[in-house]
C-alpha cells in the first residue's frame, strides 16, 4: 500500500529539485509520451521495492491574502495532518533561519516521523557545516545534494524505514464489501453525485474509522447494492477548509484513492480531459485500483447527435492509452441521468478486480495463442513461454514462465494483456504481467 511522504521547508531550500529527482524526471518521460503537461507536485516513486507518493508542498500556491510565513506554516501543518512521513529540508548555504526554527518547532510538537535533510551539501567541505542543524532538535541530519543526487539514497533509506510497517497489500477489515471513492477536480459534481445517490439516507450511515488511517468508510446498503463510500472529507470538519484548497484537495484525492478498491474519476463534459484529470488517472492506475470514468454534466453538451457519446468516449480512450479498457459512463446528476449506472459500473469493476482465472483455464486459452504468435526471437535465441498462472495477489497479476524472461519486450506483454482482456472481463482494472525464469 502506498504511503504519503511530504517534503516541507521554506522556499529555495531545494524541495522541488529533490522532488524532480525522486519523481519528476521519470514522470516527465511518461508525460512527454502521453502529451500531458508536467505541472505536478505529487507523484509516485519507489525505493527498495517500497512504493510511496511524494508531495512537494512548496509547489502549491499559497493563499496570497495570508502573510507569507503564516501561509507556509499552514502548509506544514496540513502536511503533518495528511502525510505518513515528512522530509524537512534545510539549506546548508544559508544555515538556520528564523523560518526554519518556526517550522522545526511545529515538527517537534507532533508525532509523525521527520527526516531532517540538509540540502546543497555538494562537497565534503560543506559536510562539516551541516552539524549546526543538530540544534534543531530533530535528530541526525541527513546531508544531501538534490542537484547531484549525492546522499539521496541514504535519505530514501531513512524515509522507507520511517514508514509504517508494510501491512498486507490490501487492507482487510474482515469484509469484502467494495470500497468506492469519487474523485476528480473541484466542481465536476462529486458531492452532487454523492447526494443524489445517497440523499437523505446519509443520516442512517454508520461510519467506521479506517484501520490504519483516519479515513471514514461509510457503509451503504441501497438499491440492492452493498458498498462503502470512502469519505475523507469528513476529516476536515474541525477546521475551516478555506485556505490551501488545492493542496488539501490533492491530499484528499490521494488518500481516497489509496483507501478504495475502485475510483470513480469524474470529469466535466464541458471541459474535456485535462492534465489534472490525467494526473488523477495515473495515481489510480499506479495504485492498482479499479477505475470508472464518469463524464458528468452531459446535459450541458449542446447539439448531441447519435454518435456524440461514442466519439467523446473514443477521444477519452485515446488519452488513457495504453490502459484504455476503462468503462466510461455519461451522467447528468442534475437531471438524474445514469447515476445508478455509474455506481453499478463501479461495483462491476470491483468484481473484475477480484476475478481469478484458474491456471488450467488460463493455459488452455493462452498457450495456443502463444504457439501461434510466439515472442520474437532475439539474437538468434528462441524465447519459449512454458506456461502461465495468475498470482494469488489482491489485484490481477499474471506470471509467464519463460526460458529467457529478459528477452520478452513490452509490445509482447501488451499483446498478451490484450488477449487476456479480450477473453475475460477485466475492464477498469489495471493488470500486471511478469515474465519469470523457468
Ligand atoms: P524550493 O523552493 O525549495 O522548491 O527550491 P528549488 O528546488 O526551486 O531550488 C532553489 C534553488 O536552489 C535553485 O536555484 C536550485 O538550483 C538550487 N539547488 C537545489 N538543490 C541544490 C543543491 O543540492 N545544491 C546547490 N548548490 N543548489 C541547489
Ligand atoms: P464537487 O466540487 O466536485 O463536489 O462539485 P459539486 O457537486 O459541488 O458541483 C459543482 C457545481 O456543478 C454545482 O453548482 C452543481 O449544481 C453543478 N452540477 C453538478 N452536476 C451537474 C450536472 O450534471 N449538470 C449540470 N449542469 N450541473 C451540475
Instruction: Look up the ipTM and state it.
Output: 0.70
In this structure, the answer to whether residues 381 and 348 fall within a common structural domain is no
What is the structure's pLDDT at 171?
45
Q: Which of 38, 35, 17, 16 is nearest to 27 (CA)?
A: 38
What is the structure's pLDDT at 235?
41
Q: Which of 265, 429, 394, 348 is nearest to 1 (CA)?
A: 394
This prediction has a pTM of: 0.70
Beta-bridge partners for 385? 402
Containing domain of residue 220, as a range?
A: 179-354
In this structure, the answer to whether residues 216 and 349 fall within a common structural domain is yes
Identify which ligand lies nearest to the alpha carbon of 72: 1
- Within a domain: 433: yes
CB 76 within 8 A of CB 103: yes
Q: Which of 29, 31, 21 is nearest to 56 (CA)?
A: 21
CB 291 within 8 A of CB 320: no
What is the structure's pLDDT at 125?
85
- Within a domain: 167: no
In this structure, the answer to whether residues 212 and 290 fall within a common structural domain is yes
Mutation probe of ligand 2 site: the residue of 199, 333, 341 with most atoms within 8 A of C-beta: 333
| 298 Cα: distance to centroid of ligand 2 (angstroms) | 11
- Within a domain: 170: no
Q: In total, how many domains does the chain have?
A: 3
Give the pLDDT of the chain (438 residues) as one tens digit per residue: 568 899 999 888 999 899 988 886 544 444 444 433 334 577 778 888 888 888 888 766 554 455 667 777 877 887 888 788 999 999 999 999 999 999 999 999 999 999 999 999 999 889 889 999 999 999 999 999 999 999 999 999 999 999 887 654 444 444 578 999 999 988 898 888 888 877 644 433 344 433 333 445 677 777 777 888 886 554 444 444 444 556 777 777 888 898 899 999 999 999 989 888 998 999 899 889 999 999 999 999 999 998 999 999 999 999 999 999 999 999 999 999 999 899 999 999 999 999 999 999 999 999 999 999 999 988 888 999 999 999 988 899 999 999 999 999 999 999 999 999 999 999 999 999 999 997
User: How is 295-323 classified by DSSP, letter by letter?
Assistant: EE-GGG--S--TTHHHHHHHHHHHHHTTS
Cα distance between residue 306 and residue 6, in whole Å: 47
**Of ligand 1's atoms, which has the minimum distance to the CA of residue 58?**
4
300 lines ligand 2 (CB under 6 A): yes
In this structure, the answer to whether residues 363 and 344 fall within a common structural domain is no
Q: Which of 354, 384, 414 is the last residue of a domain?
A: 354
CATH at residue 325: 3.40.50.300
Q: Which of 301, 329, 354 is the last residue of a domain?
A: 354
- Within a domain: 171: no
Q: Which of 291, 326, 354 is the last residue of a domain?
A: 354
- Within a domain: 196: yes
**Of ligand 2's atoms, which has the minimum distance to the CA of residue 296?**
23
In this structure, the answer to whether residues 32 and 140 fall within a common structural domain is yes
Using DSSP bridges, classify how beta strands 385-390 and 397-402 pair: parallel, antiparallel or unpaired.
antiparallel
CATH at residue 380: 3.30.300.20
- Within a domain: 172: no
Cell reading at 162: 520511517
What is the structure's pLDDT at 244?
54
Exposure string for 389-410, b = 16+ CB within 10 A, e = fewer? bbeeeebbbbbbbbebbebbee
Cell reading at 315: 477521444
Q: Which of 388, 385, 406 is nearest to 397 (CA)?
A: 388
In this structure, the answer to whether residues 203 and 135 fall within a common structural domain is no
What is the structure's pLDDT at 59?
63
Cα distance between residue 361 and residue 310, in whole Å: 34
Amino acid at each position: 500500500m502506498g504511503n504519503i511522504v511530504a517534503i516541507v521547508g521554506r522556499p529555495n531550500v531545494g524541495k522541488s529539485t529533490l522532488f524532480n529527482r525522486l519523481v519528476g524526471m521519470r514522470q516527465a518521460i511518461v508525460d512527454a509520451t502521453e502529451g500531458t503537461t508536467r505541472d505536478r507536485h505529487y507523484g509516485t516513486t519507489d525505493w527498495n521495492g517500497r512504493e510511496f507518493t511524494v508531495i512537494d508542498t512548496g509547489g502549491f500556491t499559497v493563499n496570497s491574502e495570508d502573510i507569507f510565513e503564516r501561509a507556509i506554516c499552514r502548509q506544514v501543518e496540513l502536511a503533518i495532518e495528511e502525510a505518513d512521513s515528512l522530509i524537512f529540508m534545510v539549506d546548508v548555504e544559508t544555515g538556520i533561519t528564523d523560518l526554519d526554527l518556526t517550522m522545526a518547532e511545529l515538527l517537534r510538537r507532533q508525532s509523525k516521523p521527520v527526516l531532517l535533510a540538509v540540502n546543497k551539501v555538494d562537497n565534503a567541505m560543506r559536510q562539516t557545516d551541516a552539524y549546526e542543524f543538530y540544534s534543531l532538535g530533530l535528530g541526525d541530519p541527513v546531508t544531501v545534494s538534490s542537484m547531484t543526487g549525492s546522499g539521496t539514497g541514504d535519505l530514501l533509506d531513512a524515509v522507507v524505514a520511517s514508514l509504517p510497517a508494510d501491512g498486507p497489500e490490501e487492507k482487510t477489515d474482515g469484509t469484502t464489501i467494495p470500497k468506492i471513492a469519487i474523485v476528480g477536480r473541484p466542481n465536476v459534481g462529486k458531492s452532487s453525485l454523492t447526494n443524489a445517490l445517497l440523499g437523505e439516507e446519509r443520516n442512517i450511515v454508520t461510519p467506521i474509522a479506517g484501520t490504519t488511517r483516519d479515513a471514514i468508510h461509510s457503509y451503504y446498503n441501497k438499491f440492492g447494492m452493498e458498498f462503502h463510500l470512502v469519505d475523507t472529507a469528513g476529516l476536515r470538519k474541525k477546521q475551516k477548509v478555506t485556505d490551501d484548497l488545492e493542496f488539501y484537495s490533492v491530499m484528499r484525492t490521494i488518500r481516497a484513492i489509496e483507501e478504495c478498491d475502485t475510483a470513480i474519476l469524474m470529469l466535466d463534459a464541458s471541459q474535456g480531459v485535462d492534465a489534472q484529470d490525467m494526473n488523477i488517472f495515473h495515481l489510480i492506475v499506479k495504485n492498482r485500483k479499479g477505475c470508472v470514468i464518469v463524464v458528468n454534466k452531459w446535459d450541458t453538451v449542446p447539439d448531441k447527435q447519435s454518435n456524440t457519446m461514442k466519439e467523446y468516449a473514443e477521444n477519452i480512450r485515446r488519452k488513457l492509452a495504453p490502459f484504455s479498457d476503462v468503462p466510461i459512463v455519461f451522467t447528468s446528476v442534475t437531471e438524474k441521468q445514469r447515476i445508478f449506472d455509474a455506481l453499478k459500473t463501479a461495483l462491476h469493476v470491483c468484481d473484475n478486480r477480484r476475478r481469478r482465472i484458474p491456471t488450467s483455464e488460463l493455459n488452455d486459452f493462452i498457450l495456443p495463442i502463444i504457439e501461434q504468435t510466439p515472442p520474437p526471437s532475439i539474437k538468434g535465441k528462441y524465447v519459449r513461454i512454458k506456461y502461465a498462472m495468475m498470482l494469488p495477489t489482491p489485484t490481477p497479476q499474471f506470471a509467464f514462465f519463460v526460458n529467457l524472461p529478459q528477452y520478452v519486450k513490452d509490445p509482447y506483454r501488451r499483446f498478451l494483456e490484450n488477449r487476456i482482456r479480450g477473453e475475460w472481463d477485466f475492464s477498469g482494472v489495471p493488470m500486471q504481467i511478469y515474465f519469470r525464469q523457468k
